[in-house]
Structures are given as structure tokens and as C-alpha cells.
Chain A
Amino acid sequence: MDSFLKIFSLLKGIDRRYIFLLIGVAVIIPLIFPLGLPLGVTQPAQDLYNKVESLKEGSVVLLTFDYYPSTLPETEPMSYAALRQLFKKNIKVVTVTTIPLGALSVMESVVKNVAREYHKEYGVDYVNLGYKYGYQAVMLGMGRKISDIFPTDAYGSKLETLPLMQGVKNYKEVDFIFIVSDNATVDYWVSLVNAQFGTPMGAGVTAVMAPKCYSYLQTGQLVGLLGGMKGAAEYEKLTSNPGRATRGMDSQSIIHFAIIFFVVLGNLGYFATRKKEVSK
């Protein structure tokens, strides 16, 4: 027992930078030498995929890019996977962002890359509305008339000159909203747009936000949910487009094991040393 206590005392005094180093190594090694650990698909991700699959060719989907560049590892793979699924099914896509910092350039790059892959024509198959300040007013205003809020697209063309937007005046002509978000805008999409206009929607959110968003699943306000990098990897798997999220999941699993190990070890050490202190 004393030898155990000695080990725990030693561990308590260890420089935490060794743990940082260990975590760093645990991230890098599986990225260089992938382990290919199995990846299951959760029901909320499957439901979101099924909903998009159920949309008919030519349907209109509003895809949001409501995220900052700081959360790209979690959110960008979701946008790529969603857009590939939508374009593959020949669904018309309208993209928009309510986030000012960097989202516009990320949106442009993602949409252009995937549109090129699937030979989609701008204005006919997809339109980029860009960014507009004041997301509550933007979301509500788009329910009345999209061109009131976005008189032009992200590149300055009048909306009425774009063939796709001639048939999309407000949410009535939008069949589904696919939200990719790293902040509270998802709450506003649900509680303003879904509640007032009834447009069905699903969301891909960062892991931090996922627990809160489960309550929207339970109410049926969201038809499906992707949570964090795991959710992104699931959607990549469902859409048969393994990308960065899938490649990151080995590291994610290894680190989770390491953290569980440290939590158990820390608690054992805490209780063992506390018992000794109490007995003293």
C-alpha cells in the first residue's frame, strides 16, 4: 500500500508539461500512422442524412455557414460533406452566413471547391447570399422576402437576375435548412425560423453546443444533429466522403483513452492520499 502511495505522491508532483507533451504525441502519431479505428453512426446523424436523401431533385436547401475559423476542424468537414450530398442529389443550394469574422471567405472557398467537383453552375444550381449584419433581423426578414434582406448576392448581382432566386422568394420556397454553426445562431434558427415559419431543419454543431441541441431533437424542431468532429466524421462516412474529420478520429479516440486514464489515476491518487491524511 505504501509503495502505491509513493507512486501517487510522485505523480502528484509531476510537471504538467509532460502531460501536454504526451497529449501532443497522442495527436500526432495517429495522424501520421492511421489506426483505422471503427466509427459508428449515431441515430441523429443518420436521421439528418435520411432527411436530405428524402428531398427530391431540384429541391431548395438553405445551407448556413455560421461559424468562425477557430472551429473549422469540427464545422468545415460538415459543410463539405453536406454540400457534396446536396450537389450529388442535384439539389439547389442557397448559402448564407450570419457570422462576420472569416465565415464569408470559408463559405466561398468550400462552395467553389465542391461546385467545381460536381460541375455546378453559379446562379442556376447554387447562390451565395453572403453575410449580413444582425442575425435576428436577417432570419426574420428572410421569412418575409429574401431580397429585402439581401438585395444582391455576395458578389453584387441583383437577386432577381439569378435564375435560382427567381423561384425562391422566402422560406416557403425553401424545403430544408441545413445549419452548420458554432454558436447561438442555431438557437435562433430553431426558435425564430422553425417556430414561426415551420421550415424543417437539421444542424451540425460543435461538440460544446451538442448537449444543448439534443433538446431540439427531442421536440422535433431539428430532424437530425451532428455533434463536433465525431458528428462530422459520421456524416463523411454516410456520404462516402472520408475527409479530415474521419482522419482526426483516431487521434480523438486515443486522447479520450488517455484522458480517461488520467482522470481515473487522478481520482485514485486523490482518494488514496486523502485516506492517509485523514488517518494521520
Chain B
Amino acid sequence: MSWEFFGTTLAAFFTLSLYSFLYKDNPFYKLAEHIFAGMSAGYYVGLIWHTVIKQQLWMPLFNDKQYLLIIPGVLGLLMFTRFFSKVSWLSRFSLAFVVGNTAGISLIRQLHGLILPQTRSTFLNVATFSGLVMVLGVISTLIYFYFSKEHKGALGAAAKLGIWFIMISFGASFGYTVMARVSLLIGRAQFLLTNWLHIIK
């Protein structure tokens, strides 16, 4: 028995073990689930060690003498002070850096990369039928989420139209989600029939 066949059989075993849950909960399912969780955790630890600690901190700091990296290194270490109640306040410096950094990037990203281009293109094609439908959809959906006035009269009618647009959007998302999940099942079936059993080429 070759190692390749052994590996494929092991993968097939875990696939079938996980799908056995559809019949009912059983030890095979639990075994596969626990092995997956354990392996993922172990893999992440190894990955962070190699790709972050070693590759992005240790080696540039000591091999390439990039001493500026001491600052993020210290900030990283300060995160561990959360385990000691007396000095846990020190971790706030690291968190403040992360929050500030993320907020700064996100603000520009949301405004420059999403809100402005989306708003511009929504109102650019208003002369076409589909453009008009889109503008109606955007405005009525926004009205639905306007809660400072009771949804009555014209506002209520617009909010109701907004619900329809939201429902159509949920339907499209659900349809695509079904397709995605079915694709994963097809992928596993292809693996079992092609790579493991060699029934199909």
C-alpha cells in the first residue's frame, strides 16, 4: 500500500465519518471533529511561530538589524500581561495601537473604497430602467431602516417597498448559499469517486 493511497483512504475515512452525522451523532463523527479541531489549532500555532515570530520579528531584528521592530515586539509581549492582574493594564497600550491602526485604515477604506464609489455609481445610471430600480431599492431600503418616525403613510409605503427589496436580496443570497453548499458536497463526492475509488476519471 503506497503512502498516497493511505493518505487518500484516511481523507475518505474522515469525509465519511463527518457525513455519518447526517444519520445520527456517533463516535466516528466525534473523532473526526476533534482531530480536525486539534490539528487546526496545532497548525495555527506552528504557522504563527514561523510566519510571524520568526519571519517578521526574530530574523529581521537579529539578522538584518532592523531595531525599529523592537517596538511591535514589545507591544506584542505586553499583550501577555493580561494573564497577570496587577500589570494587565499594560496590555491596553497594545490594544490602543491595534484599535487606532484598524480604525484609521478602515475609515479610509470604507469611505474611499466603498461608500463613495457605491453612491456615485448608484446614481449615475438613473436614466436606465435597471438604474431606476436600483435607486428605488436603495432609497426604500434606507427608509426601512429610518426609525426616527413612525412608518405610516408615504413613509410606510416606501418602507414596505424596502422590505420587498430586502427579501429579494435575501432570496438571492440564500439561493447562492444553497449552490455553495451543494458544490461542497459535489466536491467531496468527486473526491470519493475519483481519487479514492477511481470509479470516474
**Interface residues, chain A, with chain B CB atoms under 8 Å away:** 17, 20, 23-24, 27-28, 31-32, 70-74, 100-101, 131-133, 136, 140, 187-188, 190-192, 194-196, 206-208, 210-211, 215, 218-221, 227-230, 244, 247-248, 251-252, 255-256, 259
In the bound assembly, the distance between CA atoms of A234 and B120 in angstroms comes to 30
**Interface residues, chain B, with chain A CB atoms under 8 Å away:** 22-23, 40, 43-44, 47-48, 51-52, 55-56, 105, 109-110, 112-114, 117-118, 120-122, 134, 169, 172-173, 176-180, 182-190, 193, 199-200
Inside 8 A of A255's CB, which chain B residues have their CB? 182
Structural contact, B173 and A191, CB atoms closer than 8 A: no
In the bound assembly, the distance between CA atoms of A75 and B169 in angstroms comes to 23
**B179: contacting residue among A32, A101, A252, CB under 8 A:** A252
Given the contacts A191-B114, A219-B121, A17 and B186 also touching, CB distance less than 8 Å? no
Structural contact, A208 and B180, CB atoms closer than 8 A: yes
Inside 8 A of B134's CB, which chain A residues have their CB? 218
Closest A-chain residue to B115, C-beta based? A191
Structural contact, B117 and A28, CB atoms closer than 8 A: no
Structural contact, A230 and B118, CB atoms closer than 8 A: no
Structural contact, A73 and B186, CB atoms closer than 8 A: yes
In the bound assembly, the distance between CA atoms of A28 and B191 in angstroms comes to 11
Closest A-chain residue to B183, C-beta based? A229
Structural contact, B109 and A192, CB atoms closer than 8 A: yes
The 7 closest A-B pairs by CB, nearest first: A73-B187, A191-B113, A195-B113, A207-B180, A229-B183, A219-B121, A248-B186
Closest B-chain residue to A212, C-beta based? B173
In the bound assembly, the distance between CA atoms of A24 and B180 in angstroms comes to 15
Structural contact, A71 and B113, CB atoms closer than 8 A: no
Given the contacts A101-B40, A195-B112, A196-B112, A252 and B183 also touching, CB distance less than 8 Å? yes
Q: Considering residues B122, B187, B199, which has the most beta carbons from chain A within 10 angstroms of its beta carbon?
A: B187
Structural contact, A194 and B51, CB atoms closer than 8 A: no
Structural contact, A133 and B185, CB atoms closer than 8 A: no
